[in-house]
Structure 1
């Protein structure tokens, strides 16, 4: 249900209505799309990617400390609630975004992104706390699917409001800004269900050191997890793979709407309808890859997903308005939720079993994700600004997927969790395509 609640942010704010509105505002400021931000002249599309990079850099810097502090203090749910309320309030604050408030609204957008990404690390860390290992893949996929369904419902409501603005006696811009307010209210409203249902904060762990207060002990907790990471080579290999291929995945997801608007000159209705279809296809993709991972193993299924994303980069360079665009969008839909869901569940299987430091371990997963978004979106914006073409930026992302696939292949023939016990899963390397169908199910 937290996926249901917060997934309206990536759909409405990241992928659909907000980027289109951003583009309209920057064009209104200057038809050439060059805007003034803190004295710097930058393209409006690049400013959006730079704002995303800044937000994720900020959360990457503070989340390791916050999550170790949450583990030490036993206040995981409290931190989840804080970032949820911060993000939802910032989304609602985007209601005041006009061409006269571009600079302030850029910082409000950054706060919304910080709230969303900050809450995710605490949310993800609940997976090993509330589920058994054999259910990680299916539960993770179910969460993403619930997120797709909930966010689509709100997007449809927003579209009715925007397209029927005259019927409601509203200007189109005003109706659009109301959708940002609705996003914040939806997020904070439905989040009360998981807040009420999730296990209560257990308080400070028994025997925890109390000298020095929360600040010093938060750093001590982080140091303990870092020491454990140095003894878990498989975990480090996976984080390195995730770091590289996630640069490409997240960048495509964050810039797809701007790309369709600026490069393909798609109408806003076409863009939003396409994004709606992506969400529906994404539900199918998350479940299909969860089933695939049950049959052939997590890293093998991830390897196929990364390979498909390499083809997406090539297709993105040549894509044109029309059937090729919808074909490419369908493939992205099938793999975008799948690769995120599988990455989350795979990581849950690799971290030490029954560890009391789930939030701190997931902070490293979160930092890996955030830093990859910082680099990916920054590289995309820089290449687009230097070459004058976002097509070159899309094609350049293939390098990240090639590196990610290479690092995933270093896990072939290894066990996910580096410990003895019946819960280990043997993870073979990617097979030839012809062998996939006959591969027996991977033991869990």
Structure 2
């Protein structure tokens, strides 16, 4: 039964469970610890990794890109198996436990175990991003279309709140080490990595206990169609065949296709801002670490009302127009970032980033859910396509940002590159009618 309050609450708790990885491991404590620990024998940043000499900051960036690329290749295979076996939740569990255990193993990260730690970090990213595709695909299964925006916003809001709560607990341990037996700062940081794994696994039990996990008779798809021998014989090919089939279906769904193209473009800029905001403040504005931590917490807290605010806005003007409002705000953010000079100006921009970050992520997920055909049952394949689109946009967005900085020598010029991406995304969104037209679903409306 859709719109069951207990099921919807349980679903949102997975955001609460896994978002600590994004904040603690990807955005805050782990990057700082990594920079201070992943050093060579003389204390320099150029280290040896699997026989290659590479700067630690570059290795950190490449590890993220490699994880997203690997997940983009792996998720189609897993979603194909999930769709044909009806074991979506089982795959979600595997990715969740893999990522959480890898986070916990970062407790053993020292200068001597840097290679091991990088591999654990890489696997944790795969576990996190891999579980998300199955988590997202549950939305059409547990909620009706009129609830997508609110349910999606609730998930993101709980994720921001949960990650901030654990972040504050970890910061207390790091900043007040005398309360915990005068442990070293390094040990306090490693304890933070351990708590991420425990938190992730622990709270994930709530959705795992309540989310449905339909099982289908052998030889049938979730929609009741008989599976062929060719389809069941090679899951490796099945995964990419599923993506090809989704792409083929998109040719008959022009609005869904247009949205994915627009999403790919503006998400390149959104995700890049999320990953490089701290680096921009540190390298370009020379802000102290404490200020950057405050900035990260500010972004997370403001994102909560932002997600709900844009959900309300979409109810009034429709999803596409609400997304366009968010993209316009992002354009002004990029323009402001180009000229920002002071710490207070940076804090002001960070507050606005948080406001639209929650809104644009939440609305993107719910808009895509609304655009899926009403008869779709293999939602995991469609969300695998969405996930691949998202991951590839992250890879290309960070690549564009880095290349512009490398060529021009300034991150401010890279910000202008992101501004261009937002403008292109806005134009692409303009071609999509907003929400419902004359009571029809989006994909059923006339192509404008």
**TM-score scaled by structure 2?**
0.88
Structure 1 residue 228 displacement after superposition: 1.1
Which residue of 427, 430, 437 maps to 1:406?
Answer: 427
Residues 1:222 and 1:323: Cα distance change in structure 2 (over 3 Å): closer
Which residue of 267, 270, 276 maps to 1:246?
Answer: 267
Which residue of 317, 323, 346 maps to 1:296?
Answer: 317
Q: Alpha-carbon deviations, 1:63-105, whole Å to 9, x = none?
A: 1222122111111111111111111111112222223333332
Which residue of 26, 39, 64 maps to 1:52?
Answer: 64
Between 1:220-229 and 1:33-42, the stretch displaced more is 33-42
Pair 1:107 & 2:119 matched: yes
Pair 1:275 & 2:288 matched: no
What is aligned with 1:339?
A: 360
CA distance in 2, matches of 1:153, 1:427: 43
What is aligned with 1:234?
A: 255
Which residue of 177, 181, 199 maps to 2:212?
Answer: 199
Pair 1:177 & 2:190 matched: yes
What is aligned with 1:441?
A: none
What is aligned with 2:229?
A: 211
What is aligned with 1:81?
A: 93
Pair 1:68 & 2:68 matched: no
8 Å CA contact retained: 2:160, 2:304: yes
What is aligned with 2:164?
A: 152
CA distance in 1, matches of 2:385, 2:320: 19
Pair 1:354 & 2:375 matched: yes
CA distance in 2, matches of 1:293, 1:72: 34
Structure 1 residue 350 displacement after superposition: 0.4
Pair 1:120 & 2:143 matched: no
CA distance in 2, matches of 1:164, 1:36: 34
Structure 1 residue 393 displacement after superposition: 2.5
CA distance in 1, matches of 2:269, 2:442: 30
Q: Alpha-carbon deviations, 1:163-221, whole Å to 9, x = none?
A: 11232121001100110110011001100100001012323533431524363554554
CA distance in 1, matches of 2:262, 2:271: 14
Task: Kindly report the root-mean-square deviation, in angstroms, between the aligned alpha carbons of the 2 structures.
Answer: 2.5
8 Å CA contact retained: 2:100, 2:200: yes
Unaligned runs of 5+ in 1: 430-444
Residues 1:118 and 1:40: Cα distance change in structure 2 (over 3 Å): same
Aligned residue for 2:15, secondary structure, equals: helix
What is aligned with 1:23?
A: 35
Aligned residue for 2:179, secondary structure, equals: coil
CA distance in 1, matches of 2:396, 2:436: 27
Between 1:166-175 and 1:34-43, the stretch displaced more is 34-43
CA distance in 2, matches of 1:414, 1:272: 37
CA distance in 1, matches of 2:442, 2:72: 30
What is aligned with 1:364?
A: 385
What is aligned with 2:200?
A: 187
Question: What is the total number of aligned residue pairs between the two structures?
Answer: 426
Aligned residue for 1:397, secondary structure, equals: helix
Unaligned runs of 5+ in 2: 1-12
8 Å CA contact retained: 2:281, 2:346: no
Between 1:220-229 and 1:272-281, the stretch displaced more is 220-229
Structure 1 residue 253 displacement after superposition: 0.7
CA distance in 2, matches of 1:349, 1:251: 26
Ranges of 4+ aligned residues in structure 1 off by more than 6 Å: 27-32, 414-417, 425-429
Structure 1 residue 424 displacement after superposition: 5.0
Residues 1:207 and 1:14: Cα distance change in structure 2 (over 3 Å): same
Structure 1 residue 28 displacement after superposition: 7.8
CA distance in 2, matches of 1:376, 1:221: 26
8 Å CA contact retained: 1:251, 1:376: yes
Residues 1:37 and 1:395: Cα distance change in structure 2 (over 3 Å): farther
Residues 1:238 and 1:410: Cα distance change in structure 2 (over 3 Å): same
Structure 1 residue 422 displacement after superposition: 4.8
**TM-score scaled by structure 1?**
0.89
